[in-house]
Structure 1
Amino acid sequence: MTKALNYRDSGAIETGASPLVVLHGLFGSADNWRSHIRQWQGNRRVIAVDLRNHGQSPHIDGMSYQAMAEDVVAVMDRLDIEKFDLLGHSMGGKVAMTLARRHPERVARLVVADVAPIAYEHGHDDIFRAHRLVEDAMPESRREADEAMAEAVDDRMTRQFLATNLVRDDQGVLVWRVGLDEIEAGYADIAAAPGGESAWEGPALLLRGERSHYVPDSVLEAVRAVLPQVRIETIADAGHWLHAEQPEAFMRAVNAFLNQDQRAPLGVVTPPAR
C-alpha cells in the first residue's frame, strides 16, 4: 500500500467556498505556494500537496499521472473532502487534468497553469545533471551548491528554485530531499500526456505565460478536446513560472474564475494585456 502524501492544510473555514487543492510542478513542492495560500485561506480551505518523490512525501517508484492522481484522491478521502476546486502547475497541471477526467464527480472547477494535455519532447537533462553535480560536490553551503549547479544550469532563477529542495543531512552536507532516482526513472511518464479517456466537461481555466513555450496556439485544439469548457488566458510578461513571476496577475485571474466571474465567456482565448 502506498504511503500517504505530505500536505499543507489551512484548515476548515465556514464561507461556503469549495476547498482548493493545489498541485506543484516538477521539482516543486507545497512550500512554493505559501504566499498564495496565505491569500486564499482567508476565503476558503486550501490543501497544498507534495506529490510523490517531492517535498516531504515518500519516495515511490512510478511517476504515471494515473498513480499520482490516485495519490491525491487518497489524501482527499483521508480528509473527508468529497468535492473540491483543483489547481495544478506544469506537471501538477497534468495530474489535475488526469484526476478530473478519472474522477469528474470530485472536481468542481479546474485551473491548469502553463501546461497542455500533450506529450512534450523537450527534456530536463541539464536539470538532472545539476542535481548529480551537487551530489558529487557534497556542498556544505548553498553557495557551493549553486556553484556546482551553475556548471549545468546558467539561469540563476532556475538554480534558486532547485535549491529549495536542499536539506542538511546528519553530517551537515546539503542533499536533495526529492526522490531523484525515482523521478529520473519515471521521466518518460512525466513527459507523456495526462491520463484519462474522456473529456472533462466542467468549468476550466488554463493560464499560460506570454513568454512560455509550453502552451503555444498550435496546441489549443488539443486543450479544447480535453477541456471543452475551458477559458484560456495569457499572463503578460510571464514565463513558465507565471505564478511566481507575476503573482498579482495570476491571483486575479484565479480568483475571478473561482468566484465564478463570467466577464469572459468560457471557451475563448483572452490575449495578454498590453
Structure 2
Amino acid sequence: MTATPSAPFIAAKPEPRQRFVQCASPGGLHRMAYTEWGDPANPRVLLCVHGLTRSGRDFDRLAAAFANTYRVVCPDVVGRGLSSWLNVPNYYTVPQYVSDMVTLIARLDVEKVDWFGTSMGGLIGMGLAGLPDTPIQKLLLNDVGPHLEPGAVGRIGDYLGKPVRFETLQQGIDYAALLAQSFGPLTSGEWREINTPLLHERDGAWYFRYDPRIAQPFTATTDEMAAAGEAALWGALTAFQGPVLVVRGEQSDLLSRETTAKMVAQGRAVSSVEIAGVGHAPAFMSAEQIGIAHRFFLGAGADGS
C-alpha cells in the first residue's frame, strides 16, 4: 500500500550527545562513534543504523522525534563518520558490524532494543535479529531485504571507494546529493543537513570521511558468496519472531516488489508499506515518513509522550 500516515508531534529539537565505544575485530581494536538522544537512563532504546557510505547523523530528525519516548542511539558503522577505520579491510562485512552492535548494546546496558535499519543498516539488523536470544524486539527495514537487485548492486559498485576531492564543502554536499538523489525530493538545506557530516577538510580540500577500502570486500563478493549471504538473511528473517515493517521506496532499484511480497509471505510477522515518489532509500526526514516509523514502533494514535 502507499503510505499516507498522519505526522507525529515533534517537539523542539534536542541536542545529541557524541560518544564512542571500543570494539574488536580479528585485526585489532577500533572505536565506533555514536550519537545519543533522549534520557540516557531510559531503558527503552531505539537503534538507528545507516546505509553503506552514510553516517548516523542521517537520523537527526527521526531521533529528535522519538527522543521523548526512546533513548535513541545512532552509530557510525566502523569505517564511516567519526568511527575508526579497520586495520584489515576484509572485515568490512555484516558479521563484523553485527559484532560491533552487540558491543554497543552491552555498553548501553539494556537487554532489548528496537531497530531502524536503512539499506546496509537493515542487513545488519536482519543478521542480529536472526540470532538466538536476539536483543531486537521490533525491526524496521528501510528499503532492503535478503535479496538485492543486481543492477542496484552494480550501480553502487560504480562509485564506491572511488577517490574524489572537492574544492569546497558545498561541492561535496552537492556531489553526495547527486549520489543519493533517489532518497527523495529534499531541499538544499536538508541535503546540507545530512551530507555535511559525511565530509571533512584536509589540506585545503574536502573529502568523504568513509574508508574507501570498504569497497574491497564489496567488489570481491562472488556469486556463490552472494547466494550464501542471501540464504542466511532469508533464514534470519524467518527465524525472527518480532514484528517487522518493510518500507519500500516506490522507485527503488534495490528492493523489488517481488522481494517485498516474499518477505511478507515468509516472515512470521512482516508487514510492508510503499512510499510514493521515492527510490532507494527513503530519507525519513519529513513528518509524513517519520509518522510511518512512529506508528510502527509506538502504535497508532501514540503521541510519543
Would the TM-score normalized by the shorter structure come out above 0.5? yes
Alpha-carbon distance change, 15 to 59 in structure 1, aligned in 2, over 3 angstroms: closer
- Indicate the residue corresponding to 1:118 in structure 2: 147
- For 1:222 and 1:48, how far apart are their aligned partners in 2? 29
Q: CA RMSD in A?
A: 3.1
Cα pair 2:182 2:278 within 8 Å, conserved: no
Amino acid of the residue matched to residue 4 of structure 1?
Answer: R
State yes or no: 1:50 paired with 2:76.
yes
Q: Which moved more, 1:191-200 or 1:21-30?
A: 191-200
**Alignment partner, residue 16 of structure 2:** none
How far 1:47 moved relative to its partner?
Answer: 0.3
Q: What is aligned with 2:255?
A: 215
For the structure 1 residues 204 and 104, does the alpha-carbon distance in structure 2 shift closer, same or farther, using more than 3 Å as the test? farther
- Unaligned 5+ residue runs, structure 2? 1-23, 184-190
Q: Residue 268 of structure 1 aligns with which residue?
A: none
Q: Which has the higher contact order (CA 8 A, sep 6+)?
A: 2
CA shift in 2, pair 1:164/1:229, >3 Å: same
Equivalent of 2:211 in 179, 201, 209: 179
1:117-153 superposed Cα distances (whole Å, 9 cap, x missing partner): 1244232233237x42x24xxx331355579x59xx9
Q: Deviations over 1:42-65 (max 9, x none)?
A: 221100011111111111222221
CA distance in 2, matches of 1:117, 1:101: 12
Residue 124 of structure 2 is aligned to residue 95 of structure 1: yes
The DSSP-based 3-state class of the residue aligned with 1:72 is: helix
Moved more, 34-43 or 183-192: 183-192
Q: Does 1:8 align with 2:35?
A: yes
Q: Deviations over 1:166-204 (max 9, x none)?
A: 2012x22212210111x1102156975385644212111
**Separation in structure 2 between the aligned mates of residue 261 and residue 94 of structure 1, nearest angstrom:** 26
3-state secondary structure, aligned to 1:102: coil
TM-score, length basis structure 1: 0.79
The sequence identity of aligned pairs, in percent, is: 23
Matched residue type, 1:9: E
- Give runs of ≥4 in structure 1 deviating > 4 Å: 13-16, 143-147, 153-156, 158-164, 188-192, 194-198
- In structure 1, stretches of 5+ residues that fail to align are 263-274
Q: TM-score, normalised by structure 2?
A: 0.71
Q: Tell me by how many angstroms 1:28 deviates.
A: 0.8
Q: Which has the higher strand share?
A: 2
Query: Residues 146, 247 of structure 1: CA spacing in aligned structure 2 closer, same or farther, 3 A cutoff?
Result: closer
